[in-house]
Amino acid sequence: MTAKPKADASEVATLSFEAALKELEGIVARLEQGQVDLEDSIVLYERGQALKAHCESKLKSAESRLEKIVQGAGKLGTESVEIG
């Protein structure tokens, strides 16, 4: 079985985190088996690098969004409320 063509950055950018991670895991498994010829290994490695970078970007974006949510929740909790 031959590897996918060289990673297309625009195609990788359209993948969800989960889809990119699943594909990356598949690539790692194929490379670890050692049943892929040298040229296909290089193509798979390039694709894997693009997927890894995409996943890291998605994770950083999610982390940033979560930090904003947590900071926003902290601001809401600091107001004093008088009861009665």
Instruction: Give residue 23's pLDDT band: very low, low, confident or very high (50, 70, 90).
Output: very high
Domain region containing 46: 9-76
In a domain, 71, yes or no: yes
In a domain, 44, yes or no: yes
Structural domain count of the chain: 1
In a domain, 3, yes or no: no
Burial of 30 (0-12, 13-18, 19+ CB in 10 A): middle
In a domain, 2, yes or no: no
Which among 22, 59, 57, 19 has a CA at the least distance from the CA of 11? 19
The DSSP secondary structure of 22-74, one letter per residue, reads HHHHHHHHHHHHT-S-HHHHHHHHHHHHHHHHHHHHHHHHHHHHHHHHHHHHH
pLDDT of residue 41: 96
pLDDT of residue 52: 98
pLDDT of residue 60: 97
> Contact at 8 Å (CB) between 51 and 12?
yes
In a domain, 24, yes or no: yes
User: Average per-residue pLDDT in the chain?
Assistant: 86
Answer yes or no: is pLDDT of 51 > 60.
Answer: yes
